[in-house]
Amino acid sequence: MRIVSGIQPTGNLHLGNYLGAIRNWAAMQDNASASGGECLYFLADLHAISMPHVPAELSANTREMVAALVACGVDPQRSILFNQAQVPQHAELQWLLNGTARMGWLNRMTQWKDKAGKNREGASVALFTYPVLQAADVLLYQATHVPVGEDQKQHLELARDIAQKFNNDFASPDAPVFTQPEPIIPPEAARIMSLRDGSAKMSKSDPSDMSRINLTDDADTIMQKIRKAKTDPEPLPGEKAGLAGRAEAANLVGIYAVMAGTSVDAVLGEFGGEGFGKFKPALGELLVEKLSPINQRFVDLRRDQAALDAILKAGAEKARALAMPTLDKAYAALGLVRG
């Protein structure tokens, strides 16, 4: 088992990242170390430059994100934790894969369409080729499993298509260059929605901070955000089917269920028939209880910048060593002469 995943260091870690992906990173690391597998988790800082950004903020956010991931349970002793910018093999392999990826495939990516919007002419080339770098991120390490939220599924399918076409075009069937990666998407928290709009995913790029719970929010802020979360006037139903067509209610009940480690039906068994006046404070308290130890660890870890830099440096060294054999194979398969 080779587990690989990444996150952009473009702001705070929020509840969507945590429930959709990072919690799984920590759990898979525990399983992988028990079974002799390996986990590589990285900060996708090269992806972050596909959108306008402030350089000093990117550096600060990169270190903060290391502290946040460690606070969430990613253990740099057992997992390889690094940032792309210190492993140039990611960018190198992306270039090699640019010859295999098709314009038509990239044009169909929903993230490209959403982020470029109507201004495609003005979007960066990096935003367009972003999924090719993401394919390089996982193929470089022969990843077998990639824990992500639902929104990354399409990018992972593209990585599989690129791997398959490259293998077909440039390798013999008994000696493929790349492994086909499997996305691992948690069924119950695949898509955590905004607290202000049940049809939009919770996201760092939402201009309203009230739309998301950040892992750095203090108890008062969490309680206030949940109190103000958009809902409807109906009481909660007694079972899951009654949440159909009630996106905001379904989102809050789903968050409660995952945080409490139980099912949506069990939550509705407890709160069915109650209004949000009773449910929201219970959800707020549950979030505070579960997130405050993470918050506390984060505050402690972020103080020691030198220790955070040392984690990235050590992780990058290991990642570079693991990356080289596959990169060498890819160069050779393409007929590129390198001394």
Residue ranges in contact with ligand TYM by CB under 6 A: 5-8, 16-17, 20-21, 44, 47, 134, 137-138, 146, 148-149, 151-152, 191-192, 201-203
Closer to ligand TYM by Cβ: residue 136 or 237:
136
Maximum Cα–Cα distance for the chain, whole Å? 73
Least distance in angstroms from the C-beta of 86 to ligand TYM:
15
Give yes or no for a contact between 264 and 257, defined as CB atoms under 8 angstroms apart: yes
Cβ-closest residue to ligand TYM? 20
Which of 153, 165, 204, 290 is catalytic? The answer is 204
The least CB distance from residue 251 to ligand TYM, in Å, is 10
Instruction: Identify the three-state secondary structure at position 53.
Output: coil
Is 165 among the catalytic positions? Answer: no
> How far apart are alpha carbons 200 and 126 in whole angstroms?
24
Catalytic-role residue among 113, 118, 153, 201: 201
- In angstroms, what is the minimal distance from the CB of 151 to ligand TYM? 5
Decide if 201 is catalytic.
Answer: yes
Provide the b/e sequence for 116-136 (b: ≥16 CB within 10 Å).
beeeeeeeeeebbbbbbbbbb
Measured from the CB atom, the residue of 134 and 326 that comes closer to ligand TYM is 134
Which residue lies nearer to ligand TYM by CB, 94 or 237? Answer: 94
The smaller minimum CB distance to ligand TYM, of residues 65 and 236, is found at 65
Closest to 112 (Cα-Cα) out of 131, 99, 93, 97: 131
**Cβ(55)–Cβ(294) below 8 Å:** no
Nearest approach, Cβ of residue 137 and ligand TYM (Å): 4
Q: Nearer to ligand TYM by C-beta: 69 or 236?
A: 69
CA nearest neighbour of 91 among 57, 61, 49, 63: 49
Residue identified by tokens 């929104």 is 151
Q: Where are the alpha helices (DSSP H) in the chain?
A: 15-17, 23-35, 45-48, 55-71, 89-98, 103-107, 110-116, 125-139, 153-170, 219-228, 247-260, 264-271, 276-302, 305-333
Respond yes or no: is residue 290 known to be catalytic.
no
Burial class (CB in 10 A: 0-12, 13-18, 19+), 180: middle
Residue with tokens 């993230």: 111
* Residue positions counted in the chain: 339
- CA–CA separation, 68 and 70 (whole Å): 6
What DSSP line would sit under 145-156, residue for residue? Answer: EEE--GGGHHHH
Active-site pick, 115, 230, 280, 329: 115
CB of 335 to ligand TYM, least distance (A): 27
Question: CB of 259: closest distance to ligand TYM in angstroms?
Answer: 14
CB of 113 to ligand TYM, least distance (A): 15
> Looking at beta carbons only, is 156 or 268 nearer to ligand TYM?
156
Active site residues: 115, 201, 204
